[in-house]
Amino acid sequence: MKICAIICEFNPFHNGHKYLLETALKLSDCDRVLCIMSGNFTQRGEMCIADKYTRARHAVSGGADCVIQLPAPFAVAPAEIFASGAIKILSAIPDVHTLAFGCESGTAEQFMSDARMLIGESVKFKNVLEENLSLGESYIRSYSSACTACGGNAEFTRNPNNILGLEYCKAILKYNPQFNILPVKRIGSGYNDAEIAQSFSSASAIRNNLKSELLSCNVPPYVLKDLKSAASAENFEHYVKNCLFMTPAEKLKEIYGCGEGLENKLKSLENRSVGEIISMATSKRYSSSRIRRILCANALGLTSSDTEKFLDSGLYIKPLAVKKERADEMLSALSKSAFPLVTGLDAANLSDGALQCFQKDLYEMKLYNHINMLSVKDYMTLV
């Protein structure tokens, strides 16, 4: 069996995601689609508007055969770590043959060529990136400049989806160069578009327009029903602010991207609202997404040293949802992984590093339940 994998957040699952799943199966020459999805918190540092099991169920209803979890330490991390964690797990599953991902432009050959170039020029790339950031350029512009300095195409990297695609390819070259890649051109609104459109809006636009009459045109009916009880970010923001207050500046420095005095800036703003903290700490050098991610990682107790340790250790495969009629074959495929299969809370067969990582996932589920006054059980569901 050949499996096509997709790395995702689905916050929420929408028409564009359904198109990606359908196109991936059609063009990949694969038999099944497996999604590896962030849990209850995202790479942008936001709490998801629906819990991970609800979102996994939406994905299976929309065309995925199975959804497994991207552990929290990788899900709430910079793009390079986000990609590395996902690809390391997928590389451990023998039947995974292809990785499909959304992009704005570019062919498979261009993505892999630029990824090889960036790995080969890693020192130069990092130096140019840091130099441009220090001059006050935005992260995306600095990334593009660094790519150009190493021989890449600046226009190709001036988009978050393309940058993430390059990080996937860099991780593939590290963990499993045999993977095929399938870039799928996005349709409809751009990644950061805030305005809701007629049918293919971004996830951001949908989250910001949950009361819009156009919502039903942008998400499948089974998603629309659950969006009526979408989680509110307000309680999470209170928790985030309290965690910032309780954390010393020296401890904040242990989080990815929080150094160079940024930890002191954040501490100086601890009595402000979360919105004000993000706004006042954001600059050309530090994007609002980075600030939000630091605050979220701090609230979840996710440090860079722990995450690096988890990347270097064995991990696990945690299914969130699987299509009922495909359950036997999908779980059989996952059980052939180099990492243990964990379908519930029993993690007795995990190594020390994997167990510590798994405990971070258990905590993020408990925290999500606590904040939203829910009682979602942390067990795989059949759809």
Q: What is the pLDDT of residue 184?
A: 96
Instruction: Note the helical H segments in the chain.
Output: 15-27, 52-61, 72-75, 79-91, 108-120, 122-134, 139-149, 160-175, 203-207, 215-218, 221-227, 234-246, 249-252, 262-268, 274-281, 288-300, 304-312, 327-335, 352-372
Section 321-340 average pLDDT: 97
- State residue 378's pLDDT score: 92
Lowest-confidence range among 62-71, 121-130, 307-316, 337-346? 121-130
What is the residue extent of each domain of the chain?
Answer: 3-105+160-224+306-382, 113-158, 234-303
Give pLDDT, residue 358. 96
Q: Is the predicted pLDDT of residue 11 greater than 90, yes or no?
A: yes
Between 190 and 26, whose confidence is greater? 26
pLDDT band for position 191 (cuts 50, 70, 90): low
Provide the residue type at 195 as one letter.
E
Residue with tokens 């050309």: 284
320 vs 125: which has the higher pLDDT: 320
Tell me the percentage of the chain whose pLDDT exceeds 90: 77
Check pLDDT > 90 for residue 197: no
Which of 79-93, 267-281, 282-296 comes out lowest in average pLDDT? 282-296
* Superfamily name with CATH number, domain 3-105+160-224+306-382: HUPs (3.40.50.620)
Q: What is the mean pLDDT of the chain?
A: 92
pLDDT at 245: 97
Band (pLDDT 50/70/90 cuts) for residue 199 is confident
List Cα–Cα distances, 90 to 171, 304, 342, in angstroms.
Answer: 11, 22, 15
Residue 295, pLDDT > 80, answer: yes
pTM, full prediction: 0.94
Q: Would you state the pLDDT for residue 192? A: 61
